Amino acid sequence: MIALVDCNNFYVSCERVFNPKLEKRPVVVLSNNDGCIVARSEEAKALGIPMGAPLFQYKDFLDKHHVIALSSNYTLYGDMSERVMNTLAEFTPNIEIYSIDEAFLDLSNIAFVSKNPDKLFEYGVEFRSKVLKWTGIPVSIGIAPTKVLAKVASKKAKKSNGVWVIASEEDRVNALSDFPVEDLWGIGRAYSNFLKRRKINTALELSRMPESWVRKHLTVQGVRIVKELNGEKCLDIEQPIPRKSVGSQKSFGEPQTDFFVLFNALASYIDECAVKLRNQNSVANILGIFVATNPFNKSEPQYFKSRFIRLPVPTNFTGELIRFGYIILKDIFKEGYRYKRVGVLLTGLDSVNKLQYNLFDKLNREKAIKLMEVYDSIRKKYGKEILKFSAQGIGKEWKMKQEHLSDKFTTDWDNILTINIQSKQKHS
DNA sequence: TCTGGGGTCCTAGGACCC
DNA sequence: TCTGGGGTCCTAGGACCC
């Protein structure tokens, strides 16, 4: 059996751990630049605030209903996620961290489960209360024979008491018969529109479609979903593998027109990516850069341009990547546009060990590697702001908007939580 | 005026290799 | 008149996930 553990309203729950005033009140967390609503408490969902709604369209509504809006604090969420995952890993080493707030667990090697196969629900309940106690984060747990069914079970769990088990054939048919097809893992908007046009509305109905039909219209991924819905395992608990690409793109707080402002931002994004490459011992063969205006602003001239190059030597050296980034940006940047975004994508990743050198290489690679080791260790110890490439600049023009940011409670000593105990009783 | 960011997988066509 | 087969890489687009 497989368990899917999914944190409830994760970003909101992280904020609530450190700010109890947010309990039982409608709370939303915003995307970068305070642009869209990307997480909602149950109270906020009950008010009918949709996922992904632009903040400016809902500002009045939020004020009217006293909804608290917070900027996203990824430093905090990342650290809280690690705590949750470490707690899960205490139960079984066979765990796949699927996203910042979700993990699949293989229950087959857990002694209690194999000894008491009929007590999965009780096991889930205990599991859930342990995670809550240890981390402060409420989770939902779905337990089933396949990943897709475990996903279904976890959604069911969210709407009941936090735990849902699909064990028998009867459980399976019951769970799928009223499960909307658009809520299935792997069925997005395009596919669900397509299926509904053909009167396939529930997961059970989809599970009964012939394989050839599914293959034709939903590709092999659809076939896997259907098989898993029928209890046939197609998707394994996966061990972490190195990423195949690393990218970074961010909207500016304000539109930018100056080449060097774009270049400063680009250099910063390249640095972020290069750090990720070094952390997983990868080098990139291909570097891609793009620039874009704001596609929502129909009244302004639009411009989007991207260009990819193959690097002469695969690399993860920030300085070298910035140098090539500059050349590409020079090439694709056009004067006279109000740019909203610049981005970088590094692909064709290889392991450092497979590195092929170039006969005409002028860079002292050994020195570059040592330099980056020092660079990374200093920044790890004293924070990312302590040391930068000059190309990143010191300007704040392009930085994103974060007007309602909470503190880094768990990762910065200066932000550690203080608690004022106020009591009327003197000897409490 | 204001609309996120970081990923994966699949398909299909064309260029090119031997 | 009749013109193969097996493969990779690249690009672009579309779908999906959180």
A219: the nucleotide nearest its CA (via C1') is B10
pLDDT at site A424: 59
Residue A425 reports pLDDT greater than 60:
no
Listed as own residue / partner, the contacts of A128-133 with beta carbons closer than 8 Å and 24 or more positions apart are A128/A162, A128/A163, A130/A87, A131/A5, A131/A84, A131/A87, A131/A88
CA of A218 to C1' of C15 (A): 9
Q: What is the mean pLDDT of residues A121-146?
A: 96
CA of A274 to C1' of C9 (A): 25
Where residue A65 falls among pLDDT bands split at 50, 70, 90? very high
Phi and psi angles of residue A397, each rounded to the nearest 5 degrees, phi first: -55, -45
How far is it, in rounded angstroms, from Cα A156 to Cα A147? 14
Residue A428 reports pLDDT greater than 80:
no
CA of A112 to C1' of B7 (A): 36
CA of A425 to C1' of B13 (A): 79
Proximity of residue A187 CB to strand C below 7 A: yes
> pLDDT (tens digit, 9 = 90+) per residue, A135-156?
999 999 999 999 999 999 999 9
Residue A167 reports pLDDT greater than 90:
yes
Where residue A6 falls among pLDDT bands split at 50, 70, 90? very high
Tokens 């790890």: give the residue: A380
- Contact between A168 and A145 under an 8 Å Cβ cutoff? The reply is no
Interior angle at CA A407, CA A383 and CA A342, nearest 5: 60
A294: the nucleotide nearest its CA (via C1') is B3
Proximity of residue A348 CB to strand C below 7 A: yes
The tokens describing A257, both together, are: 């027109």
Where residue A175 falls among pLDDT bands split at 50, 70, 90? very high
CA of A312 to C1' of C6 (A): 30
Phi and psi angles of residue A422, each rounded to the nearest 5 degrees, phi first: -110, 130
Cα dihedral A101, A288, A390, A264 in deg (nearest 10)? -80
List protein-proximal bases of chain B (any atom < 7 A from a CB).
Answer: 1-11
Q: What is the mean pLDDT of residues A421-425?
A: 66
> pLDDT (tens digit, 9 = 90+) per residue, A350-390?
888 766 677 777 888 889 999 999 999 999 888 888 999 99
The tokens describing A26, both together, are: 């409608």
Q: What is the mean pLDDT of residues A397-411?
A: 86
How far is it, in rounded angstroms, from Cα A32 to Cα A38? 10
CA closest to C1' of C10 belongs to: A308
A54: the nucleotide nearest its CA (via C1') is B3
